[in-house]
Amino acid sequence: MEPIATFSALDIQQIRSDFPILHQSLNGKPLVYFDNAATTQKPKQVIEKLSYYYNTINANIHRGIHTLAEKATAEYEATRESVRSFINAKETAEIIFTQGTTQSLNLVASSLGRYALKAGDEILITTMEHHSNIVPWQMIAELTGAILKVIPINEKGEILIEEGLAMLTERTKILSMVYVSNALGTINPVKTFIEKAKTTGTYTVIDGAQASSHLDIDVQALDCDFLALSAHKMYGPTGVGILYGKKTILEAIPPYQGGGEMIKDVSFEVTTYNELPYKFEAGTPNIADTIAFKEAIDYINHYGKAEMAQWENELLSYATEKLTAEIEGFRPIGTADNKISVISFLVDGVHHHDIGLMLDHEGIAIRTGHHCTQPLMSRLQIPGTNRVSFAVYNTKEEIDYLTTSLKKVVKRLR
């Protein structure tokens, strides 16, 4: 599919008609899906590709010489090329398929950590990391004696840039930073940090889980060493994602898991590893979902990521203004100057869990809780938030309905 010409041609109703799940009632009300930061819904192109795979070309990849195996392998590798182009990596050898961002970050923490870290070395992360960019580093720090350091943030939910850059020194062996915060929507100045990291000999890892469907990602322009993302947050299936890594580093670091596919030769005495990217892809992968992932990328490319983001940003401004004006005691959490279409909030005098539950009764799906960012919640001294997050198929009418419903819910709860 060729990209459409302009954003004005973007027909939200046309887009909505591609998403079967949106056209249903829940709890007797039409579904309004505002939990897109957790996972986006899937267009029929992705869903149909899954059944195409199982109906027509199901076979294990890279192993058989029969026709089905060749077809499945070709489609699997076509997704790799699609992802390469999507993030502008130099080579497909640099795209490793994983189960998603969490596994990608565990892979890099384990393999890079075992290669690069020794006691006393520092790993630098930020206050707003998702647990999946905290815990793997704690685990490798425990194993190696490395020390975890955390860049502070301000009350708006922005990284303190000067302080953060000052914490990045020759002692910092790895910097791992979230590109866009899932809990606040903050877009971090990752490029500034990567540039400084070049001068301190620090490996850079970017958690791109929330950035992938909203921001243009160019790993060569960023010049990061690693980047992780999940297909399910970009209109693709669950259970598949990627780790991008620079080839020279991927060649140097040890494998993550052992097994089939990742070897060249095995004997009881010695095993040699396969070439990239297969060295990091042990076992039969998630073939169907990986193949369908390409449809999601094609879908985004068709409408244009920038055009989609423009619509989502329009929804963000509209909703922020409306909720602030109409909901008494509305308190946005995370008011960064540079943010994506996520609104985290609390309402004075009402528990966030009650809001989430009662909006669900109105057919509105939002997220409630700590969003797997407990240290961030502690820093902000809140137990959690309500979070509304937009995707391209959301509408202003849905925001109007949210506002009316929230007003009703708050009135009832106070």
Interaction between residue 368 and ligand 7TS (CB under 6 A)? no
Instruction: Rank residues 246 and 371 by Cβ distance to ligand 7TS and give the closer one.
Output: 371
User: Least distance from C-beta 40 to ligand 7TS, angstroms?
Assistant: 11
Stretch that binds ligand 7TS, among 134-142, 147-155, 311-319, 365-373 (CB under 6 A): 365-373
- Residue 37 DSSP one-character state: T
User: Least distance from C-beta 412 to ligand 7TS, angstroms?
Assistant: 27
Interface residue with ligand 7TS, options 32, 33, 36, 37 (CB under 6 A): 37
At residue 278, φ and ψ (nearest 5 deg) are -65, -25
Rounded distance, CA 93 to CA 6, Å? 34
User: Least distance from C-beta 272 to ligand 7TS, angstroms?
Assistant: 31
Rounded distance, CA 193 to CA 146, Å? 20
List the interface residues with ligand 7TS, window 90-109 (CB under 6 A): 100-102
Rounded distance, CA 380 to CA 304, Å? 35
Interface residue with ligand 7TS, options 10, 12, 22, 38 (CB under 6 A): 38
Token pair belonging to 65 = 């010489």
Token pair belonging to 231 = 């297909």
Tokens 């990239």 label which residue?
Answer: 276
Q: Please confirm, yes or no, whether 224 is among the known catalytic residues.
A: no
Instruction: Rank residues 207 and 295 by Cβ distance to ligand 7TS and give the closer one.
Output: 207
Specify whether the CB–CB gap between 255 and 280 falls below 8 A: yes
Specify whether the CB–CB gap between 58 and 72 falls below 8 A: yes
Rounded distance, CA 308 to CA 304, Å? 6
Contacts of 317 (CB under 8 A, 6+ apart): none
- Pattern 148-187, ligand 7TS, x by CB under 6 A: ------------------------------x---x-----
Rounded distance, CA 15 to CA 13, Å? 5
The active-site residue out of 215, 372, 377, 382 is 372
Interface residue with ligand 7TS, options 111, 127, 230, 290 (CB under 6 A): 230
Residue 230: beta bridge partners? 241
Q: How many residues touch ligand 7TS (CB under 6 A)?
A: 17
- Pattern 380-409, ligand 7TS, x by CB under 6 A: ------------------------------
Rounded distance, CA 385 to CA 143, Å? 34
Interaction between residue 130 and ligand 7TS (CB under 6 A)? yes
Residue 26: beta bridge partners? 29
Interface residue with ligand 7TS, options 210, 213, 274, 286 (CB under 6 A): 210
User: Least distance from C-beta 204 to ligand 7TS, angstroms?
Assistant: 16
Instruction: Rank residues 93 and 211 by Cβ distance to ligand 7TS and give the closer one.
Output: 211
Angle at 83 between CA 190 and CA 7, to 5 degrees: 75
Maximum Cα–Cα distance across the chain: 71
Angle at 310 between CA 305 and CA 311, to 5 degrees: 100
List the interface residues with ligand 7TS, window 329-348 (CB under 6 A): none
Closest CB to ligand 7TS: residue number: 182
* Residues forming the active site: 372
Residues at the contact surface with ligand 7TS, assessed by CB under 6 A = 37-38, 100-102, 130, 132-133, 178, 182, 207, 209-210, 230, 367, 371-372
